[in-house]
Amino acid sequence: MIIHEASNYSRKFEKLVKHDPDLGKKVDRKLQLFLVNRNYPSLRLHKIEVAGETVWSISIDLKIRMLFSHVEDGILLFDIGSHDEVYWFGDFWQYLKSLKL
């Protein structure tokens, strides 16, 4: 499985890591868990369906969520941030718009 990063994801990730240097390690750990066992409890993996489109969320820690979608050869990470940032104000809605719903 290949893990792709959208450019907006990469920018937000770098910004978050500047404020919390341990975040990079947390994200790596969660992605490794996901690759080994996507149902591992601490991932709190869940599906989000909006207008017929499905995206997925992983909890990185109590504050940070990471959103992704499945693509042909793996997954595409497209948003990371606080719950409110990624679900209500972040790139989640822009991503759905880009799908031409």
Which residue would you say has higher pLDDT here, 37 or 96? 37
pLDDT at 99 over 80: no
For residue 70, give the nearest of 90, 41, 99, 93 by alpha carbon.
99
pTM of this prediction? 0.83
Q: Taking a C-beta distance cutoff of 8 angstroms, is the pair 79, 95 a contact?
A: yes
Q: According to the model, what pLDDT value does residue 101 have?
A: 44
CA 65, chain centre distance (Å): 6
Tens-place pLDDT, residues 38-92: 999 999 999 987 667 788 999 999 999 999 999 999 999 989 999 888 877 555 6
pLDDT at residue 6 tops 80: yes
Of the candidate CATH numbers 3.40.50.11310, 3.40.350.10, 3.30.2310.20, 1.10.760.10, the domain formed by 2-98 belongs to 3.30.2310.20
